[in-house]
Every structure is written in C-alpha cells, then in structure tokens.
Amino acid sequence: MELEERTSVIAFTVDINQKNPKLLDVSIQIPIPIKIVGAGGGGAAEGGREAVKVMTGSGSTISEAKQNIQKNLNQRLFFGHTRVVAISSEVAKTDISDFVDNMRRFPQIRRLLVPVIVPGRASQILEKDPKLEQIPVMYIKEMMESGAKIQLIPDISLGEFFINMSDSSIHPIMNMVTPTDNGFKWSGVAVFNGPKMVGQLNDEMVWAYMNLHENHPGGDIKIPCFDEKGKYSVFHARKAKTKVKVEKKNHQIHAYYQVDVEGDIRESECNLDFNNEEIINKIQKSAAEVYEARAKKMIQYVQKDIRADAIGLGFIVRARYPEIWRAVNWEQEFPNVQIHVTYKVNMRRFGMVIGKSR
C-alpha cells in the first residue's frame, strides 16, 4: 500500500449510538497534511481544528463501524499512526472486551498509544482545539506523557493496560480525560474489573495510589496550619518510596504499607518558624497525617465501594508471598484485607525564606 493512498487516523473514539443503543459509534480524526503548519511551505498551512477532519460511522462491532467510515472515504484507512484512543464511560461501564479484542488482533495498532476514558460522549474530544498542538488530539498524548514524566499522571499505555487486563492479580486502570471549553482536563483514572469499568478514582485518590503502588510522589498536599483555620502550607514531595509487608495473623491478612516521602515546602500561609526543630517535627507529622488520610480514603473506596484491587496488592502478594496467594481466593479476599498505611515525611527544604515572609 502506498503512503499517499492511506488515510492516517490519528485518534479514534468509541461511543454508544444515541438512537440505537445496540450499535457502537466510532469516530476518527484524520489530519489533513496540507493544512498542518510547516507542511508544504505554502501560506495555506494553519493547524488546529481546521487541520483535521472528523468522521463517524456506526455498526454493531468496532470493525463494522470502521468499515462504514471506510465507505465514505476516498482512500484506505490506516491506523499505524494512531496515538490516542478514547472510549466513552458508557461503553466502558457495559463492556470493553470487544474493543480490547479488536485492538489486540489488529497488527497496525501499537502498544505505546494512549488509551483514555471520556465521561459522556467520547467523540467530543475530537472536536476540541486547545490551540497548542497542530493536531488537536495530540494534546492529550502530550498531556499524558508529560504528566507521566513529572509523575502526576499514571503512565498507562495501551500495552500496559493489556498486561494488567491479562494479569489475574491486579485490576487494570485507565486514565480519564474530560473535555473542557477549549481543551482537555485529566480527571483521574477509571478502574476496571474484568472488561467492565467499575469505578473512578479522583486525582487525590490517584496520587495516593501512585504513592502506594508505583513509588511516585503524586501531587502536592495541603497541610492545615496549627494556629489559623482555613490556611495551609503546601508540601511538594520529590520522592516517595514504599515498602509493603504482608502478614497472615489468625486467618486475617494484614498489609502494611510504609511510605517514605521526601520533599520541600512550596508555600506557607501559616506563621511558622522553620528554624525550630520542634515545629519541623510537628509539621512533618501533620503532613504524614494528611497523606495517610488521603490513602485511607482511596483504600476505603477500592476495597469497600468497588471491591477491585486497583492498587495491585495481589500482584505484590503473588510475587512475594506465594504461600498466602495460594491459600486464598484473592478476588474474594481483597475487600477483607486489613490495609495499614503509615507515612514518614522528611522535609528537606523550606524554600528561600525561613518563617513567614512579609
């Protein structure tokens, strides 16, 4: 197949058809090469919303929907350059196994592309133009990549999602992106149980998850001031290191997470004197409490509300405590595991001032 005879799909989305809920809508975004800045050198190049075309087709399977798009096209669809796939949360809540199967069987699809869940209709994201990328949807890919680099967003590629999907000891997660007025927003992660989306972690929960599972510091935390209510100090973690210990005591499995966090104070609204060791100890302790509360909220949610082992405790148990893993049915056991989380916060630096700047 010649290069010029292809229609490259840069992103595609999967939705439920609004008229007939049995059908799936697949929308694709196609870049128009001549309208991309820098291409051809002509004055016509512009980029953004005008540089792409969005097309939709529906069918009872994803392949059928793609084929229906093909019917409207002059050239052959090519998915080798696809960078983003988005699935609407409605589809995800019913079943995404068709989608996964289609992705896995299709040799053009690469494992490094970015899969996202979109609340509501996924095809919305193809219409947005954040104006910072020549091809609008690349914004999502860049957002995920830079977010993963600064360790704010979990790094989940399609391949990673497949691996977690196959793995019997962990429940897969996928990033969520919400379209805003003229752009996109990362809005936590979706948790899957099998092929179904069962819940959603908001950003704070995701950061707690990243502390516990990935040794990533996650986002900043706000430590309430000792003296004034409603005022906070902001602690920015640079490093996090987690140790997990699992024990079985009287038929009850206990998991002990010990997280060591290291970082700086980024902002202080409180009147604190960081020259005083006592104060430092005190604020370290209250930072640890804030962290623990954040983790506890997340654990409560995954254990009791959605009963899905998104934090990958089973993965650790299977690898390091095979005797416990073999003795129980983890799927049933996970909600009953006693998870204890302790944080140890090390404040290394307090910025360029000591005490309250006036």
Question: DSSP 3-state assignment of 237?
Answer: strand
Q: Which helix or strand (DSSP H or E) is residue 121 part of? A: none
211 CB-side CA count, 13 A? 33
CB–CB of 121/152 below 8 Å? no
Confirm if 91 and 24 have CB atoms less than 8 A apart.
yes
Residue 246 DSSP label: E
Query: Is 291 within 8 Å of 212 (Cβ atoms)?
Result: no
Binding site for another protein (CB under 8 A): 1, 80, 104, 107, 110-112, 159, 162-163, 166-168, 315-316, 318-320, 322
Minimum CB distance to another protein, residue 107 (Å): 6
Question: Which is closer to another protein, CB of 232 or CB of 256?
Answer: 256
CA 195 to chain CA centroid, nearest Å: 17
Q: Which is nearer to another protein, 11 or 272 (CB)?
A: 11
d(CA 124, CA 25) in angstroms, rounded, equals 12
Backbone angles phi, psi at 346, to 5 degrees: -115, 115
In the bound state with another protein, the residue whose beta carbon lies nearer, of 215 and 258, is: 215
In the complex with another protein, the residue whose CB is nearer, 291 or 315, is: 315
Rounded to a whole number of angstroms, the minimum distance from the CB of residue 93 to another protein is 24
> Smallest distance from the beta carbon of 321 to another protein, in angstroms?
8
Contact 34, 52 (CB under 8 A): no
| Contact predicate 323/256, CB 8 Å | no
Kindly tell me which of 160 and 262 has the beta carbon lying closer to another protein. Answer: 160
Question: Is 76 or 348 the residue whose CB approaches another protein more closely?
Answer: 76
